Structure 1
Amino acid sequence: MLAFLKGNPRYFCYWMATWLSEFGDWMRNMALLYIVMDLSGNSPFSVSAILFAEFAPIFLIGFFVGVFADRWDRKRTMLGAIGFRVLIMLLFVVAILSESLWMIYIGAFLSTVGSLFYKSPAPAFVMQFVPREDLKTAMSLRQITNSTMMLIGPATGTVVYMTWGGAWALVMTALLMLGSLLLIYVVKVPPSATPATEDSKKGKLRGVMREMRDGFVYSWKNLAVRPLLFTQIFIGLGSGLINVVEIFIITEFLGLPKEMLSLLVTVQGGSMLVGALLVQRMKSAPERLLVYGLLLMGVGLAGMVAYPALWVTMAAILVFSLGNSMLTIGLGTTLQTYVAFEYQGRTGTTVMTLFNGFMVIAMLTAGPLQALFSIVPVVLASGIIVVIGGAVCYYMYRVAHKAGMQPVPPPSQHAQA
């Protein structure tokens, strides 16, 4: 990894930018949670409302964002998205000073829109200066950033909020994002816009819809992407169930105080960090990492309720976290390896939207299911669903390889500084 970073200064700048961006996101997330709880008197409805505001854009405009992420210049789109998110931080400060929950909800919605425009072109942007043989290393480094921020982000965000208050936490978030913007700005890449065809230009909305449809067709016909589309159903359902009932593993199954959840989150973050370092050394193809990751995640989920002892649950989290790292790195590398440069945005948002859609469906049903069956069957069900997803993924990729699945040509025309 160190050799890769030394040999690719453009990726090093981008990687540093992701550290600042992720740190800012955690500070914002913790600040908004505490601000909403303070302004609403700890209202569960208000907390649900802010979560809805942060997820809604993914379903409402995610597919449209993918079209523009493929059509516009990738670097400029990312820079514009970061600048937009900085402005939203200032909107949050005004909302705090005026004690307006509605402004916070609107700001959360708009902030997610900015995040979509930032994340959607990122894979294609990275492909402009990272050779194909180094893509897995690049994804492993991104996973290290995510895991480390999961490890330290919540605690740091809480300390900043408690020490200086919500307004200053959000101002600091804006400064971190500006730093991220400057680092991405210095990454030199040639223009990467993919102009709309003359057919697509006829009627702006009709052109966007046509390009979006082309993205769906491409994703479905792509032998490497089609297994991902089916797999997201299982991952989304399993993730939605565990996201809701995780706290009850602590309180109901283990009989511990709810504050112990922070310990498990810390264990998960540390395990994912170690997992990212291990996965980077594995020689498996990215689609195999996907399969192995899903199987390990499913086993780890089920293992969390195998025996009512904290050490057993923590051991299961270690297994789950390793699988999670394999899944994340395998998924990102698979898309960058087998999806054409000009379809990266649309394919990525299609996969992401499918995952989030089924996750929300599962989250809505998790509470009633737990009330009906108790915590153990629900957690076991989430693990079984993910294992089934791994089996489906394995079978579909086996068929895809027999059908002649091949990597797409690298975007060599975009790779020069």
Structure 2
Amino acid sequence: MNALLKNRVFMLVIASDILQQFAIWIRNMALLFFVMEHTNNDPVAVSLLSVMEYAPIFIFSFVGGALADRWNPKRTMITGDILSALSIVMIVLLLKIGYWQALFAATFVSAVVSQFSQPATSRVFKHHVEEEHVSAAIAISQSLQSLFLIFGPVVGTFVYTQLGLFVSFYSLIIIFALSALCLSFLPRWMKEVEVMQSSLWNDIKEGWLYVLRSNPLRMLTVVFSIIGLAAGLVQPLEIFLVVERLGMEKEVVQYLTAADGIGMLIGGAVAAVVAAKVKQKHLLVFGIIILAVSFVVEGLSTSFWITVCMRFVTGICLACVNIVIGTFMIQLVADNMIGRVNGTILPLFMSTMLIGVSLGGILKEATSLITVFSVAAVLVVIAVLPILKMKMTQKQEMQKVNQL
């Protein structure tokens, strides 16, 4: 831990992550509340908001991962923050002349930019953080994200309800600018000597082949795709648990998110200690089963405290899974393949999530909230099957892939 705190690069990236988390939650809460107010709590409109977030991730992550392996990661991250700030300026101008639908564009641009900056961040971590400290680095990053799951919705709700939509967006411009300033202090990126003769299409194809040759990566891709579909079904409907099942005001959704964050914070601490002692397969199965149970309980529950407790338990399990998977990706995927592997797995996850998001509001209108959450639970249980087919250890498998 002390070694990480003395790592200047790690601390600068974490500082940038903190600023971006503030921006993400101020934006998320402002968009959610504004759209619900202007559409009279229309579930299809809320689903459309999620579609605008996930569609560009699916479209651009193929290219983003491959380009991230070619581009200067420091410059890529700084450019991403600058573009995000400029996009908010554009949105404010459009809102001033009455085009409130322009809010969807803010989500679209942010999602596009992230497909280039996220793989770049992974490259910086792998290059500047020693391998024995990677698990702790990811645990710290996960814990910070969990803290913002607790405080982020509260901050975002306060800024929107007390200060208004425009102040929310003005603050985003300042935050993205500060994040870019932090990243500007990163050391100059020393590009490795390599011959870049292949085309962009060949780079993308190489990422697919890398995943297809690895049993763990293949199986994880199937798992992520199924869970993406399940998560997509319920993702835009979370706020309706509060409004319809619990009979509370929509602002109460921040407390459910906070419970999730507390659980993930604790789960991050647990994972940092036990990640090296627990088999990844067992941890994945356990986390997925708990996720399925949580979907059923949340859909059926009419008690605020039962729903909150289930969110807390789910947060613990998912944090453990996320940290182990994140460690796996950074440690065992070759440095020059991180972007392409991300650009292969993430689009499949996002495409199924996008399908789920698109169908979630429609399915709720045709059936009920309980039915949608039950269908999601069944899908999550099915996701356990590919994990059981993981026969080789990660290290053995990736050694085999790198020899091909």
TM range (shorter): 0.7 to 0.9
Let me know the Cα RMSD of the aligned residues.
3.0
Q: Percent identity?
A: 26
Following superposition, the deviation at residue 260 of structure 1 comes to 4.1
Which residue number in structure 1 is paired with residue 389 of structure 2? 396
Between the aligned partners of 1:247 and 1:228, the Cα distance in structure 2 is 29
Query: What pairs up with 1:139-178 in 2 under 5 angstroms?
Result: 139-178=138-177
Which residue number in structure 1 is paired with residue 100 of structure 2? 101
Which residue number in structure 2 is paired with residue 112 of structure 1? 111
Between the aligned partners of 2:306 and 2:269, the Cα distance in structure 1 is 24
* 2:223 aligned partner, one-letter code: T
With 262-271 and 317-326 compared, the bigger mean Cα shift is at 262-271
* 1:358 matches 2:352: yes
Which residue number in structure 1 is paired with residue 228 of structure 2? 236
Between the aligned partners of 1:370 and 1:15, the Cα distance in structure 2 is 39
Structure 2 unaligned regions, length at least 5? none
Q: CA contact under 8 A between 2:232 and 2:357: conserved in structure 1? A: yes
Task: Specify whether residues 47 and 319 from structure 1 end up closer, same or farther in structure 2 by C-alpha distance, changes over 3 A only.
Answer: closer
* 2:339 aligned partner, one-letter code: G
Following superposition, the deviation at residue 73 of structure 1 comes to 1.6
Return the match for 1:384 from 365, 378, 384. Answer: 378
Which residue number in structure 2 is paired with residue 72 of structure 1? 71
Between the aligned partners of 2:32 and 2:248, the Cα distance in structure 1 is 24
Return the match for 2:289 from 290, 295, 299. Answer: 295
Between the aligned partners of 1:350 and 1:266, the Cα distance in structure 2 is 31
Return the match for 2:321 from 327, 341, 361. Answer: 327
* 1:279 matches 2:288: no
Which residue number in structure 2 is paired with residue 413 of structure 1? none
With 261-270 and 332-341 compared, the bigger mean Cα shift is at 261-270
Between the aligned partners of 2:256 and 2:82, the Cα distance in structure 1 is 35
Between the aligned partners of 1:196 and 1:101, the Cα distance in structure 2 is 48
Following superposition, the deviation at residue 186 of structure 1 comes to 1.7
* 1:222 aligned partner, one-letter code: S
* 1:316 matches 2:310: yes
With 333-342 and 163-172 compared, the bigger mean Cα shift is at 163-172
Q: CA contact under 8 A between 2:226 and 2:383: conserved in structure 1? A: yes
Following superposition, the deviation at residue 268 of structure 1 comes to 1.4
Number of corresponding residues = 399
**CA deviation string 1:26-59 (max 9, x = no partner):** 2223334455567x56584765554433222112
Between the aligned partners of 2:214 and 2:5, the Cα distance in structure 1 is 35
With 271-280 and 301-310 compared, the bigger mean Cα shift is at 301-310
Task: Specify whether residues 346 and 159 from structure 1 end up closer, same or farther in structure 2 by C-alpha distance, changes over 3 A only.
Answer: same
With 319-328 and 279-288 compared, the bigger mean Cα shift is at 279-288
Which TM-score applies when normalising by structure 2? Answer: 0.87
Following superposition, the deviation at residue 152 of structure 1 comes to 1.5
Following superposition, the deviation at residue 338 of structure 1 comes to 1.9
Between the aligned partners of 2:35 and 2:363, the Cα distance in structure 1 is 28
Between the aligned partners of 2:239 and 2:29, the Cα distance in structure 1 is 18
Between the aligned partners of 2:49 and 2:299, the Cα distance in structure 1 is 30
Which TM-score applies when normalising by structure 1? Answer: 0.84
Task: Specify whether residues 336 and 77 from structure 1 end up closer, same or farther in structure 2 by C-alpha distance, changes over 3 A only.
Answer: same
**CA deviation string 1:207-256 (max 9, x = no partner):** 22221111111121133321211111221122122224434444555555
Following superposition, the deviation at residue 350 of structure 1 comes to 2.1
Following superposition, the deviation at residue 5 of structure 1 comes to 3.3
SS in 2 for 1:188: coil
Between the aligned partners of 1:313 and 1:30, the Cα distance in structure 2 is 20
Task: Specify whether residues 46 and 249 from structure 1 end up closer, same or farther in structure 2 by C-alpha distance, changes over 3 A only.
Answer: closer
Between the aligned partners of 2:244 and 2:96, the Cα distance in structure 1 is 39
Structure 1 unaligned regions, length at least 5? 201-206, 411-417
Following superposition, the deviation at residue 70 of structure 1 comes to 1.0
SS in 1 for 2:128: coil
Q: CA contact under 8 A between 2:241 and 2:299: conserved in structure 1? A: yes
SS in 1 for 2:187: coil
* 1:213 aligned partner, one-letter code: K
Which residue number in structure 2 is paired with residue 5 of structure 1? 4
Which residue number in structure 2 is paired with residue 263 of structure 1? 255
* 1:388 aligned partner, one-letter code: I
Q: CA contact under 8 A between 2:154 and 2:254: conserved in structure 1? A: no
Following superposition, the deviation at residue 169 of structure 1 comes to 2.3
Between the aligned partners of 1:125 and 1:32, the Cα distance in structure 2 is 31
Between the aligned partners of 1:364 and 1:354, the Cα distance in structure 2 is 15
Task: Specify whether residues 357 and 186 from structure 1 end up closer, same or farther in structure 2 by C-alpha distance, changes over 3 A only.
Answer: same
Q: CA contact under 8 A between 1:74 and 1:193: conserved in structure 2? A: no
SS in 2 for 1:128: helix
